[in-house]
Amino acid sequence: MAVMCLSDIAIYRAAALVWIEIFRGLPALVTISLIGFGLPIAVGQQFPGTYTTGSIAVGVVGSAYIAETVRAGIEAVPKGQMEAARSLGMGYARAMVTVIIPQALRIGIPPLTDEFVLLLKDTSLLSILGVTASNKELLKFARDDAVSTFNSTPYVVAGRVYLAITVPLTFLARRLESGSQCRAPASGPGRLKPFFTSLNRPGGDGG
């Protein structure tokens, strides 16, 4: 999706931009409701699997934000990297796969980790889809227990579970961000030579 946004082919770029803008603009709860309730009604068939609908809904919501993060990472890679790769005889596709995208993902690791944390928290919205014991998620279990026992403890337990997952991931994202800032190379030509020189070593696939 991120590569499609940067494509020179207008139809690819337009399709990616429409997807991203729609699902970034819609509230996550609306998207989950449309996929969880509206789509099965439209096609006249339920999705197979216990968590299929919820997984698709969260994946669609996350895809728009992750695509923007990866796109920003690709644009953050110095243009000299692509020019140097093309000067070595690489085609555009090979240069993107072997040179640009790996560096973009390295740049984007901290925000991608943050996005993963947000997706984990968005799974609580799937409680609106939980109608049977087999497809309930954490918040739905907590809500049902709280209603049946007239006690808020299940909500506290659910909150602790979410914190046990998200706090370590948030700490990891901060460590990765600080580490990437410390190791960020300058964008001058001299900094580009070691990477591309390694592609031309004997036994390598360069040149």
d(CA 59, CA 10): 25
pLDDT digits (tens, 9 = 90+) for 69-108: 888 888 888 888 888 888 888 888 888 888 888 888 888 8
Range of the domain at 140: 2-78+100-194
Residue 95 lies in a domain: no
Tell me the two tokens of residue 94.
């090979």
Residue 143 lies in a domain: yes
Please give the tally of structural domains in the chain.
1
Residue range 102-158, pLDDT digits in tens: 888 888 888 888 888 888 888 888 877 765 555 567 777 787 788 788 878 888 888
185 assigned to some structural domain = yes
Residue 40 has pLDDT above 60, yes or no: yes
In a domain, 88, yes or no: no
CATH number for the domain harbouring residue 14: 1.10.3720.10
Q: Classify residue 200: in a domain, yes or no.
A: no
Please state the pTM of the whole predicted model: 0.67
Does 157 fall in a domain? yes
